[in-house]
Structure formats: C-alpha cells, structure tokens
C-alpha cells in the first residue's frame, strides 16, 4: 500500500518555472514506478511523465519533453516534477501516481495508487 500527497501547485505566469512534489508513505515506495498525470475539467486524465524505481528510466509525453523533468529521491520517498517555460495550456490539476503499469504506462487506468492532486494555473 502506498499513500501519495502532492504539494507545490500554484499560480504562475507564462514562461515561469514551478516544481511540484509528491510525498509517498508505505514500505513499497522504492519498488514502485511513479508518474505524473494532469487533468482539466471535461477531459481525460493525461500522462505527463513517468520514472522507474531506480530513477534511471524516464518517459515523457511528447509536448512536455524538454520542458518538464521528473525525478525521485528514494531516501525521501518523494518524486518531483520540474516544469519550465510554462504555458497557459499547462493549467490543470496535477496528480501523482504509483504502481506497476507495464508497457501501458501512459494509460491512467493501469496505475494502482493516486494522490489527491494539486492545482497548477498558468496565466498568460
């Protein structure tokens, strides 16, 4: 069992940077793959970035590659999403996920554990 709590969301301007964090509790954190998804009202939750248990394997959605960086600190049971050069279309609730999704890691239904989400708003 893994419990996830996101933090660090807020209001920023276009072009700014923001880092959101996800603190995990539970003995199995170090063995879980982790990911960030985001969701806007009326749309399906979409994959943003994922990271393997060791931190050495990362995946990104195409539009975020180069602007966003996912990382994890297993000693602190925390995963991060650094977002640079932010755009108004990055506005969403950002969710942290944990689990073993396999090759369908971009499918939100394949992830076992979720946080409550943190709102990120980018003004133009």
CA distance 68 to 77: 20
pLDDT tens sequence across 73-119: 999 999 999 999 999 999 999 999 999 999 999 999 999 999 999 99
Tell me whether strands 33-39 and 46-51 are parallel, antiparallel or unpaired: antiparallel
What are residue 85's phi and psi, to 5 degrees? 45, 50
For residues 30 and 72, give the distance between their C-alpha atoms in angstroms, rounded to a whole number.
10
What CA–CA distance (Å, rounded) separates 73 from 28? 14
How distant, in Å, are the alpha carbons of 37, 49, 90, 97, 101 from that of 107? 10, 12, 19, 11, 8
pLDDT, tens only, 31-75: 889 999 999 999 999 999 999 988 889 999 987 888 999 999 999
Residue with tokens 């060791």: 54
């Amino acid at each position: 069992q893994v419990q996830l709590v996101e933090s660090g969301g807020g209001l920023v301007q276009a072009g700014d940077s923001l880092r959101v964090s996800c603190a995990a509790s539970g003995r199995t954190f170090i063995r879980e793959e982790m990911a960030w998804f985001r969701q806007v009202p009326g749309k399906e939750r979409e994959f943003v970035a994922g990271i393997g248990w060791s931190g050495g394997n990362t995946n990104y959605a195409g539009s975020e590659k180069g602007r966003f960086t996912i990382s994890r600190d297993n000693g602190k049971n925390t995963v991060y999403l650094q977002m640079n050069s932010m755009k108004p279309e990055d506005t969403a609730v950002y969710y942290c996920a944990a689990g073993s999704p396999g090759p369908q890691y971009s499918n939100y239904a394949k992830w076992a554990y979720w946080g409550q989400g943190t709102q990120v708003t980018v003004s133009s």
